Amino acid sequence: MILPPWCRRVFLLACATIVAIALTGCGDSRDDRTADGRIILQYWEKWGSFEAEAMRRVVDDYNASQDQVLVKFLTVSQIDQKVLLATAGGNPPDIAGLWGYMVPSYAEKNALTPLDSYIAEAGISGEDYYPALWETVSHRGFVWALPTTPATVALHYNKQLFEEAGLDPERPPQSIAELDAMAEKLTIVELERDGQTIQVRYSDMTTQEQAGIADDSRASEFRIIQLGHSPTYPGWWLPMWGYWWDASLVNDDGTRVTPASEPNLDAMRWIESYTEKYGKNNMLAFGSSFGNFGSPQEPFLEGQIAMVIQGVWMYNFIDQFAPRLEWGVAPFPSAYPNTTPKVTILESDVLVIPKGARHPDAAFDFIRYVNQQGPMEKLCLGHRKFSPLVKTSERFLQDHPNPYIEVFIDLASSPNARTTPLIPLWQEYLSEMNVSINSVYRQVIEPEPAMERVEQRIQKKLDRAVRRWELTKDVRLAEWEQMR
């Protein structure tokens, strides 16, 4: 049966309310006091496994530190959708753990409580955190969240494979050009030569053989055994490769998207150059042999790829699945190392108070507790990440199991530490970019028309979002100011 539009809206609203109530128990009738009168706070978090346990220990410490509030920690899947549904249903949790990139979208949906008055009273300021992180939790002049466990990305490389290729394992590449040259030495191809099947490094292939591997019609003559690097693995930050060319994806005030800028196009051409060099079919066939991330068959852990861009969390998987791996970490080199060094993407989990939370004062007291140096370092050590706070104790560094943790901390303080574009449309922008970049990588479309198409499609949506904001901003800002 096809419902008319008004029926569908009623039906969806009813579903949202039902889901919200189901998630929180029984709506406004929830018992929010313990038998001895403590306020019960509902805290929803996306983490599972050891990350959830790390936060659970901090929650236990907080609960034991005072007798006024009891935080109940709950791991929730698809938290990005469920927090919105619960907030729309008028029955949100008191605290929610989100990803930092979600802050602008949630704020503009009027789903968060501004924290400005709370952080001012607590003596918390942006100077306590890495600058890019403070940008992440701020939007339209208000602060909506505080960071918890941040991460930067860096080059991870296999030192044993470097040695086997005749490269200095203590000297990672210093520029994109050098990374590409090293990747050629680290790439091993199986082919026929003089009637024999041999394995040879790409850098030792003849000019004719190099032309052959790039020719997709001759893909059956070549098989990639080991790859020096692939810009599309793991593929989680494809739209942001332009940062290593000093590019931006939006203008300064967030009203224009700029995927077709020349620096971004340079990054797209670099991605395309890998399929041009090693052959699209060869690269796709090699990629199809990869095991899942978070398993022993992950290609970097398996030695299938010698150099990858990964986050600070990669240590956890190396320690678990490949403890004998000889590996190193360094800043992923930029195209212009002299003028744009130490480029990285800085992301963070955050804690927010959803709009309509029943106990915002108590909720912020918990968030303030987490953002003290001791509890924060305990949490981040449990995640094997670094603290979002600029001040880090010597004990934290001494106890941290990741031997390269200071590389990630140094990158977080870099002036070239960049975040995802802080616009409400980022998820749509990301999807459009990923589809187009994969088409470029597969040589379906050239970088210029691919990025121009993204720019046109997203700019139209952003223009509509800007117009909506202009129509509502006076009311919305006045409301937020009262809540501030």
Residue 361 exposed, middle or buried by CB count within 10 Å (0-12, 13-18, 19+): exposed
Measured distance CA(423)–CA(430) in Å, rounded? 11
Kindly give, in sequence order, each residue whose CB lies less than 8 Å from that of residue 308, ignoring residues fewer than 6 positions away.
Answer: 155, 156, 157, 229, 233, 234, 299, 300
- Alpha carbon distance 279, 277 (integer Å): 6
Per DSSP, what are the bridge partners of residue 44? 74, 96
From first to last of its 484 residues, the chain has per-residue pLDDT tens of 333 333 444 344 444 444 444 444 444 546 789 999 999 999 999 998 899 999 999 999 999 999 999 999 999 999 989 999 999 999 999 999 999 999 999 999 999 999 999 999 999 999 999 999 999 999 999 999 999 999 999 999 999 999 999 999 999 999 999 999 999 999 999 999 999 999 999 999 999 999 999 999 999 999 999 999 999 999 999 999 999 999 999 999 999 999 999 999 999 999 999 999 999 999 999 999 999 998 999 999 999 999 999 999 999 999 999 999 999 999 999 999 999 999 999 999 999 999 999 999 999 999 999 999 999 999 999 999 999 999 999 999 999 999 999 999 999 999 999 999 999 899 999 999 999 999 999 999 999 999 999 999 999 999 999 999 999 999 999 999 887 7
Q: Which residues pair with 295 in a beta bridge?
A: none
| Contact indicator for 148, 350 with CB cutoff of 8 Å | yes
3-state secondary structure (DSSP) of residue 46: coil
Token pair recorded at residue 482: 């009262």
Q: What is the mean pLDDT of the chain?
A: 93
pLDDT at 484: 73
Distance CA 157, CA 21 (A): 48
Contact 245, 302 (CB under 8 A): no
Q: What angle do CA 479, 138, 435 make, to 5 degrees?
A: 110
**What is the reported pLDDT for 30?**
60
- Using alpha carbons, select from 328, 315, 303 the residue that is nearest to residue 168: 328
Alpha helices in 384-425 (DSSP H): 394-399, 405-412
Q: Which residues of 241-280 are buried (b: 16+ CB within 10 A; e: fewer)?
A: bbbbbbbbbbeeebeebbbbbebbbbbbebbbebbebbbb
Q: Which pair of structure tokens corresponds to residue 236?
A: 């989680």
Q: Distance between CA atoms of 259 and 249, rounded to whole angstroms?
A: 5
C-alpha count within 13 angstroms, C-beta hemisphere, residue 467: 6
- Strands 95-99 and 344-352 come out as antiparallel
Instruction: Check if the beta carbon of residue 325 is closer than 8 Å to that of residue 200.
Output: no
Helix (H) or strand (E) holding 465: helix 447-483
Residue in the structure block whose two tokens are 């590409």: 180
Cis peptide before 234 (omega within 30 of 0): yes
Question: Which pLDDT score, from 0 to 100, does residue 2 have?
Answer: 38
The DSSP letter of residue 332 is: P
pLDDT of residue 482: 86
Give Cα 144 distance to the centre of its chain: 19
CB 424 within 8 A of CB 465: yes
